[in-house]
Amino acid sequence: RILNPYPFFFYNDYSQEPDGDPLTPLTPMARVPNFPAKMHAILTREDLSDVIAWMLHGRSWRILKPREFEIRVLPAYFDHS
């Protein structure tokens, strides 16, 4: 490999690869889902795609409508007092 100058990174982009076993739950039964599992559940919901979505490169996500996220997503997925 040739080391290119900053900001060049080596990474594998898995964002477009299909899930090998889509029926396997991300969190075992009777356990509270962790943050990545909750975010996966949120980001795969079509009805929330106008509120939160993956960035085009597939390595991060962005909240598109913060107020809608606060009203529709936070109470449903996260316990906040």
Tens digits of per-residue pLDDT, 5-45?
666 666 677 767 787 887 777 777 777 788 888 998 899 99
pLDDT on residue 51 = 97
- Rounded distance, CA 51 to CA 65, Å? 5
- Rounded distance, CA 69 to CA 62, Å? 11
Query: Where is pLDDT greater, at 62 or 20?
Result: 62
Question: For the chain, how many residues are written?
Answer: 81
pTM: 0.64
In this prediction, residues 69-75 reach a mean pLDDT of 94
Q: Is the Cα torsion angle 8, 37, 22, 72 positive or negative in sign? A: negative
Strand ranges for 4-78 from DSSP E: 52-54, 61-63
Instruction: Answer whether 33's CB lies under 8 Å from 72's CB.
Output: no
